[in-house]
Amino acid sequence: QVQLVEAGGGLVQAGGSLRLSCAASGLRFSTTATAWFRQFPGKEREYVGGFSRTGGYVSHADSVKGRFTVSRDNAKSIMFLQMDSLKPEDTAVYFCAADRRIITSSLRQAAQYDYWGQGTQVTVSS
């Protein structure tokens, strides 16, 4: 059974940093695409950053490029999202997602992912 568990959300002031983690079980990270998404109230989930199945390709959304960094440890089946220079507009629920079959060109499409964590709230105060 696949399980993704996020941790590390919370309240932070603008300009601060947070590090989210996503621990996976039932998945082999070295052959699984993994990604972070976020969801604003009333909106669809938005891609933040992620890895192709082999981990050889990594991308970040333009809105977070230069401020957020995704990383993962295949051996430990854990993925991270380092968020620096946070802005109030980054306030959202952050989710990790995983899929064994997704192709690289579809990494940014939430509907392509089979597995999701429960989400963790990130609130950035001004």
Round to whole Å and give the CA distance between 35 and 108. 8
Beta bridge partners of 94: 38, 120
> pLDDT tens, position by position, for the chain (126 residues)?
999 999 999 999 999 999 999 999 999 888 999 999 999 999 999 999 999 999 999 999 999 999 999 999 999 999 999 999 999 999 999 999 999 999 999 999 999 999 999 999 999 999
